[in-house]
Amino acid sequence: MPDRKTGSDHEPVSRRAALGLGVAVSAAAVSGAQAAPAPKSTAHEVDVAVVGAGFAGLTAARALRRAGRKVVVLEADGRVGGRTKAGRVAGEVVDLGGQWVGPGQTRLLALAKELGVAIYPQYADGKNIIDVDGRNVAYEGEVPALGPEATAEFAEVIGKIEALAAQVPVLEPWTAPMAAELDSQTIETWLAANARLPATRTMMRLLVRAVMSAEAGQVSFLALAAYAAAAGGFSPLISTRGGAQETLFDGGAWQMAAKMAQELGPAVVLNAQVRAIAQDAAGVSVTTAEGAWRGRYAIVTAPPAMAARIDYTPALPAQRDGLSQRMPLGCVIKVHVAYARPFWREQGLSGLVISDRTEFGPWFDHSPLRGGGGSLVGFFDGGPAQRWADRPAAERRAKVLKDVALYFGEAALSPVDYAEEVWTRAPLQRGGYVSVPPPGALTAFGPALRTPVGRIHWAGTETAEAWTGYIDGAIRSGEHAAQVVGGLL
C-alpha cells in the first residue's frame, strides 16, 4: 500500500515533484505553523493555480501548459490521482480507486493511447450469480436472471429510466421537462411508483448502490436520470460487455495520473492543501501549507463538498455555498482479495456476484493478466460502506471472506492476500465514486455547479458534460476548464 506521507513506490515522479518544491517551502510549513496569506511579493507567480491533482486538475494543467501558460497544481494529498490510487495485492499493482473504462469514454481511451497504457477486457466468461429476493441463480450474459416476471418488469423499468434520461440535458438537468417533479423525489420514491415486484425494486436498489455508491432513498431521481444521460443511458452504467465495466488498464488506471504529473514535473506540489483563496480585480491569491501562489485565475477541481472546506474571500455566493451543502460524496470501500488460483473459474463461474444477502458486493474477477493467481475485486457501497467504514479492518476482512464463501465455497476463506481502501474515511477525498445530490438540490442550486465565481472556475468529474462521475468525465471537465480559462488569459 502506498505511503500517504511520502508518495508511493509507483509515483516516483510525484514524490520528486514534492521534494523539488520542498526547497522553496516557507519556514512556516517546516515548523508546522498555519501559513497566513502571504504578501504578493513572496507568492509564487503563475497564470493559473489548479486545485487538486486528480485527472481533472492534471488534464487542465497539462492543456494550459501546452498552450504556453504557467501553471501550478496544488494537491492536498501526498500523491497524485485523487479518486484513483495505486495499491498492491499479491505482488500485483492494482487500482484501489477508479479502474474500468468502457466504450464511449473516448477521452480516457485517447489519454491511455497517448500515454502508452494498454487495455484488456474484464473477464466475463462463465456464469454470473444473482441472489435477489431469495432467488439464487447462475446465469450467463448481461441481463440479470430475476425470474420471468421480474426480468420483464426490470426491463420495463430500465426502459422508463432510459426514456426519461434521454430528455435530460446533462449540463442543465433542471431545465428538463418534469425536472421539478423528478427532483422532488428520491430514486426509492420513484421505484415505489414504477416497480411493482419486490425483486425488481431490490435489484434496482443494488444497481443504484453499485453505480452511485449511495442508497436509492438518498438520491434525487433527477440526479440518477442526469447521471444516466451523461453515460448515454442507464444500461451502459450497469453493463460489463458494451458498458462502463468492459475494460481495464494493464498496470492500472492510476498510472495515467502519475504520467501526467511526470510531464508537469515541479509544477505539481504535493501536501499543499489549499486553505484559502482570496480574489481581487487582478487575480487570485491561493494559500496552502506549502506556501502561497498568486495567479490570474484558479481552477478548483475538488468535488463540491471538499471545495467547500476552502476559505473564500470574498465569501462564495449563497447559491454556490448552498450547492456545496447539498452534494455529499457517495460512500464506498473497495476491496481486492487474492487467491492462489481463480478457483471459481473451475466451477464455470465468471466471478460476478450480485446479492442482497451480503453487504459486500458486487464483486468481479480481477485475476492478474500474467501469472496463475486469482483475485476478486468488490465493493461495500452506500449503506454497507457507511456501516463498515469505522469498523476494525480485521472485521471487514472477515466479513468479505464470509460473504464470498457463501457463493464460492470454503476455498474463499483462504486468500493469499487482501487490500482495501476505505474511501469514505480518506481525509482528503471523503468518499466516492461521485457526489450524489438529494431531492431539491439540482433544481434549486444546480446552476452553481459550473458557474464561475469571479476568477474561480470549477472543474472535476461532477461538472462534466459526459460520463459524470467517471475518470473520462474528469478529463473532459479539465479540458473544458483549460479551454475557458485559457481563452480569458
Q: Which residues bind ligand FAD (CB under 6 A)?
A: 51-57, 74-77, 82-84, 97-100, 273-274, 301-303, 306, 310, 332, 334, 423, 428-429, 432-434, 460-461, 469-472, 474
CB nearer to ligand FAD: give 195 or 253: 253
For ligand FAD, the closer CB: 146 or 253: 253
Rounded CA-CA distance 430/421 in Å is 11
Nearer to ligand FAD, 62 or 201 (CB): 62
- Cβ–Cβ under 8 Å, residues 348 and 127: yes
**DSSP letter at 423?**
G
- Report in angstroms how near the CB of residue 312 gets to ligand FAD at its nearest: 11
Helices (H), 12-86: 12-22, 27-31, 55-66
Length of the chain: 489
Shortest distance (Å) from residue 170 CB to ligand FAD: 15
Q: How far is the CB of 73 from ligand FAD (least distance, A)?
A: 9
- What residues have CB less than 8 Å from 447, skipping those under 6 apart? 172, 174, 319
Least distance (Å) between residue 368 CB and ligand FAD:
17
Residue with cell 454470473: 128
Residue closest to 372 by CA, chosen among 90, 88, 1: 90
CB of 319 to ligand FAD, least distance (A): 21
Whose Cβ is closer to ligand FAD: residue 71's or residue 306's? 306
Q: Give alpha helix (H) positions in 300-421.
A: 304-307, 318-325, 343-346, 383-388, 393-408
Residue nearest to ligand FAD (CB): 82
Question: Which C-beta is closer to ligand FAD: that of 142 or that of 156?
Answer: 142
**CB closer to ligand FAD, 240 vs 273:** 273
Q: Which is nearer to ligand FAD, 105 or 220 (CB)?
A: 105
Comparison of 100 and 190: residue with beta carbon closer to ligand FAD: 100
Nearer of residues 428 and 444 to ligand FAD, judged by Cβ: 428
Q: Least CB distance from residue 49 to ligand FAD, whole Å? A: 10
Q: In the complex, what is the shortest distance from the CB of residue 133 to ligand FAD, in angstroms, rounded to a whole number?
A: 27
Q: Which amino acid is at 72?
A: V
CB of 471 to ligand FAD, least distance (A): 4
CB atoms within 10 A of CB 389: 18
Give the list of residues 6+ apart from residue 68 with CB closer than 8 angstroms, or none. none
Q: At what angle do helices 187-194 and 198-212 cross, to 10 degrees?
A: 150
Q: 90: how many CB neighbours lie within 10 A of its CB? A: 20
Measured from the CB atom, the residue of 117 and 164 that comes closer to ligand FAD is 117
- Report yes or no: 99 and 276 within 8 Å, Cβ to Cβ: no
Q: How far is the CB of 188 from ligand FAD (least distance, A)?
A: 23
49: nearest Cα among 247, 278, 381? 278
Burial per residue of 176-201, b for 16 or more beta-carbon CB atoms within 10 angstroms, e otherwise: beebeebbebbbbebbeebbebebbb
**Shortest CB 105 distance to ligand FAD, Å:** 7
391: Cβ contacts below 8 Å, ≥ 6 apart: none
Asked if 464 and 473 touch (Cβ cutoff 8 Å), the reply is: yes
- The cell numbers describing 475, all together, are 478529463
- C-beta closer to ligand FAD: residue 164 or 482: 482
- The least distance separating ligand FAD from the CB of residue 182, rounded to whole angstroms, comes to 23
Helices (H), 23-166: 27-31, 55-66, 106-115, 148-165
Is the CB of 303 or the CB of 439 nearer to ligand FAD? 303
CA-nearest of 435, 332, 309 to 381 is 332
Contact 69, 63 (CB under 8 A): no
Residue 174 to residue 441: CA distance in whole angstroms: 10
CB 432, CB 175: distance < 8 Å: no
Q: How far is the CB of 57 from ligand FAD (least distance, A)?
A: 6
